[in-house]
Amino acid sequence: MVFDTLHGETVSPDEFIAQIKAPEFPCVGAKSAAARGNLKIVRARDITSGWNDLDIHRELLNWADEYDGKDSNLRSLVVLFDGPTTLSETAFEKAMWERLQSFAAKDAWLGEDFASSVSADPDDPHFSVSFGGEAYFVVGLHPRASRPARRFAAPAMVFNLHDQFEKLRAQGRYDRMRETIIERDIAIAGTINPMLAQHGEVSAARQFSGRAVGDDWKCPFQDPRA
C-alpha cells in the first residue's frame, strides 16, 4: 500500500509527491497541485519540537505574500517533518496544534493582521488559522492516521489558502471536487470520513489533524488576536 511507513528513513520530497500522485490517493485537489508543480515542500526536523518554527513561519509569510488571488490553480505549502514516525493520533494532534499555536504567536508578535474573511475562534464555524494576513485550512498527515488518506510515511502539515476554496465555490467547482474526493476516500477506507461537514456548519478545526473527535472535543488553540 502506498501509505505504508518508511521506518527509520527520512522521507524525501520526491517520495512525498509520489504518494500524492499514487492512483489510490483520493484528494484530486492535491493531485492537481502536484501535477502543476504547485506543491512547495519545506523540510523540518521534529513536529514535537519548536526547532524550525521561525523558519516555517517565515515560509508562511512568504507564501501569503506571493498569493495575488488571480491564479485559479490550487497551490499548497507542505511542511514535511523528519519525524517522529511513531506518534499516536492523539500525540500527533497535540504536536500539530502546538506548532500552529507557535506560528500564531509569532504572527501576532510581528503585528500581522488576522485575516478578515474568517474567525479566530476555533469554535466558530468560520474558523481558520491566519498567517501573514491570509487564512489557511490545515491538513495533518502522519504514519499512524486511522484514515488511509491521511496515512503518510512521515508527519506533515499541508497549508491550503482559504481564499482558493472560496474562489472554487464562486466558480461552482468546489462541490463537485468535494464529492469526487469523498467518493475516492470511501473507495480506499470503506466508510465515509465521520469528520466531514459542509463549510459553515461546524468549525474546520475538528478536521485539521484527521483524528475522529467527539462532540465534547475542545480545540487546544487560542489565537492571541482573538
DSSP labels, 107-129: HHHTTPPPPTTSBS-TTSTTB-E
What separation in angstroms does the CA of 60 have from each of 83, 150, 170?
A: 20, 22, 25
Q: Tens digits of per-residue pLDDT, 100-124?
A: 999 999 999 999 999 999 999 999 9
Q: pLDDT at residue 19 above 50?
A: yes
Query: How big is the chain by its Cα radius of gyration, in Å?
Result: 16
Alpha helices in the chain (DSSP H): 13-21, 28-35, 53-66, 89-109, 162-170, 174-189
pTM for the full predicted model: 0.93
Neighbours of 139 (CB within 10 A): 21
Q: How far apart are CA 47 and CA 3, in angstroms?
A: 19
The strand pair at 129-131 and 156-161 is best described as unpaired
Average pLDDT on 184-195 reads 93
Domain spans of the chain, in order of start: 13-207
**Residue 63 in grid coordinates:** 507564501
Q: Tens digits of per-residue pLDDT, 43-82?
A: 999 999 999 999 999 999 999 999 988 877 899 999 999 9
The strand pair at 39-46 and 76-83 is best described as parallel
**Residue 216 in grid coordinates:** 465534547
Sorting pLDDT into bands at 50, 70 and 90, what band is 3? Answer: very low
**Residue 101 in grid coordinates:** 499555536
Q: Tens digits of per-residue pLDDT, 142-157?
A: 999 999 999 999 999 9
Q: Say what the pLDDT of residue 9 is.
A: 53
Q: How far apart are CA 6 and CA 61, in angstroms?
A: 31
What separation in angstroms does the CA of 40 have from each of 62, 77, 130, 175?
A: 12, 5, 18, 25
